[in-house]
Structure 1
Amino acid sequence: MSRSRIEGLLAAFPKLVGTGKQHTYVETENVRYVYQPIEALYLLVITNKQSNILEDLETLRLLSKLVPEYSPSLDEEGVCRAAFDLASAFDEAISLGNKENVTVAQVKQYCEMESHEEKLHKLVMQSKINETKDHMRRRVTEIEKSKIDRGKTEKAFAPLRPPIDFSDMKTRGTGLGGDPIFADSFAQKPKGLPSAPTPVTSKADGGMKLGKLKKTNQFLESLKAEGELISEDTQLTGIKSRLSSAAPSDPVTVAIEEKISATVKRDGGVHNLDIQGTLALQVLDDTNGFIQLQIENQDLPGLIFKTHPYINKELFNSQQTVMARDPNRPFPSGQNDTPLVKWRIQELDESSLPLSVNCWPSVSGNETHVNIEYEASEMFDLNNVVISIPLPALRKAPSVRQIDGEWKYDSRNSVLEWSIILIDQSNRSGSMEFAVPSADPSTFFPISVGFSASSTFSGLKVTSVLPLREGCPLKFSQRIRLATDKYLVI
């Protein structure tokens, strides 16, 4: 059926329905309209007159159950926002014009299975990016410390050194990436003076190969393209951290992570607020795989756990112990984290938001003045907060007149990024004011928010790791992290 034919049939439907009629179908010369009112809208199925009316009504009944599952509100705005998900669900319910023998639960399962691999891939990529950023920040701190130590050493040997010819140093460069820390390694040293021993790289270590440097530079360039500010010192530390990343020293490592997804209305209220968490385990070798993990968490309403089929579910539910269902099989060993427990928290309201953002655009003459403020909850200390405000296309950066924190203008995407490194007890609230040429207030939405924290909603943590056989509790380390998945103000 052509698009023009479908549009013509839909245009004719409102004239055929009328008001005060009790039946749920209308027939014309060629087609039958089977419909059901949903608040101010109609759910409509168009069939030919030869189709079975009972089957058409059954199809309509199934579709009417699917709409509330995917649409946040049963109005035109909510249906339009969920149009893609509804189309996918309807496609699972109807095939080649015939109703499939499926239930609502099966349709939801099929739709989730389609995107599972994509979600897993995005999760892995985001985890790698976050890990690289953490390495960079740690290495920047180490380099700053080494600068201070080197300065002390320079002062100690100052009476013995002749004046340095800086013009000569400038001609030959200052070392890798222009970093002054390595300047002395490339500057010519006077004969007879003691020099620091030069580290020797063996073949077993692999050395610093051009191919590795090139791949690392490409990765850093991709971070730059995403708007990350990477200094020369940070580039060097990123290279060193990638080339000399050490394996975990503890026999057992536990990674606990929660992802928060929220869509908040600009005038107050929450469209959706969802927390999903995972507990993953990394065991260095099989000898340490015969273990059980004792956990504890806060007793929250709406907290639902799911365990991997490998785990003893009854023991987990009764004693909060994570142990293999078969005690003769160890947990898998290796460098990859193995997810063992997942959970979800849904019964949360607006008061549970870690960070609230309010934006107040107002037009004054030829300019739009935008006041934006944040207010953080007492529950979390937030790290690396970035609030991204979309702007109209500008020829130059906006005029920022007041800000608590730092800002950066991404001209390629026309986005103003407001950054706060840490939000704690000292700065639970803050504001920013900027001006741009006159623009529609809706231009500044949706606002995207990103942050991380070292604590979680569930408060889940591992208290001990015990061997299944005789022996002392094992030494272990655990990483606990809360991060945003999709946090929008619309």
Structure 2
Amino acid sequence: MVVLAASMMSKSGKVLVSRQFVDMTRGRIEGLLAAFPKLVGTGKQHTYVETQDVRYVYQPIEALYLLIITNKQSNILEDLDTLRLLSKLVPEYSPSLDEEGVCTAVFDLVTAFDEAISLGNKENVTVAQVKQYCEMESNEEKLHKLVMQSKINETKDHMRQRVTEIEKSKIDRGKSEKAFGPMRSPNNIDMNTRGSGPGAGPIFGDIHKTKEQPLASSPAHSKLAGGMKLGKGQKTNQFLESLKAEGEVILEDTQPSAVQSRLSSVPQSDPITVKIEEKLNVTIKRDGGVNNFDIQGTLALQVLNDTNGFIQLQIENQDVTGLSFKTHPNINKELFNSQQIVGAKDPNRPFPTGQNETPLVKWRIQELNEASLPLAVNCWPSVSGNETYVNIEYEASDMFDLHNVVISIPLPALRAAPSVRQIDGEWKYDSRNSVLEWSVILIDESNRSGSMEFAVPAADPSSFFPISVGFSAPSTFSDLKVTAVHPLREGSPPKFSQRIRLVTDNYQVI
């Protein structure tokens, strides 16, 4: 068997991967590849095509062809065996069996093809052996890694020596206690460890210490910094003076202290953040009506420091049918039910502090009907001849502006992407999961309704269900929000921010 070339190409004729195995000009190979799409027919069950000079042995892989070009004197059985080996190698290296996936793994595929075929003849190897050969270790690479690790270890040892020298310098000057005294004073330790609420324990105290420690400067550090600044200043001043003498205009550098003061004045985060979120669990019948329409909401609080933990939240919400609240066991239920104030049962116990959000109030909304759906999706598949035409449309309620809308339609197993004939928005075909994704970035007053039409080979209409829908909105059904934050101790009301959104947890048309 003599293999002239092994290639992968799209059914439109675009060559994605090409590997030449014998002494033949590039122009000759390109000419043979260009002729292949004209020779292969549709609806035929053959796996090879012969011309006057060569034989094409091919195998369809979804929207691609895996192609081997051989001379006519080669053994067709060996050619088919080679083709089967290459077809097993392609999924091992390509992340997806489409044009994009093959182009991503083109170099790995060329290397694998080269291991499977040598000088025009098939090697007696398996897929596992080809993968092993392609992943062989390099002695030069091992040596390079050892040298790099040695440099890293040497740098770490040098850093440890410098730390030891600095610590020794502190001890010699006898000023260690003075430099770190404020960090170890009884008042400071009590501030970091006291408190009865969650988040005010020793771990939270360690966070304060870590943040405060760099503020205490050591004499050794001051000396080193001062010495470096002096040497640099002398050379810099001489250089600047010589430039000024030549008539150059010199701009003064910004002082580091001014830069640091500006950076420190930028607020890192709001001291109090309220997160209000509602999740939709909806099941819609394809012929109309709703099987399930459930909304679950949560109000969560994040407080960054202890001083802002003693607060109460004033909330308000719309009167929605089927709305019921549940509060955390440590929340004052009577105060919530009578005045819609979220506060702790024990006023002397602050809310938890730290980076984590604490859920305080949960609610549920039921008894809603189809008219309250934020987004309705209708799908109309119809079979005509050898094709199924699918018309799908959405209608959005004017209650919400929907963001990042994705409508996922399952499809029967296809060898090629569906033919999309009309769409309001964008589409993407996931060949691995056989799903067509219809996406609209924003649905507002300008596009409350939209449609899409596509065609696939004849299929059962039920194979296009269930349809999954995902989106988000910056407002909720309950319209719950925090209107004020009341401090329980002296001082002005602290600043706060709130994030409100409506998201889909499970939204399907069945």
TM-score by length of 1: 0.50
TM-score by length of 2: 0.48
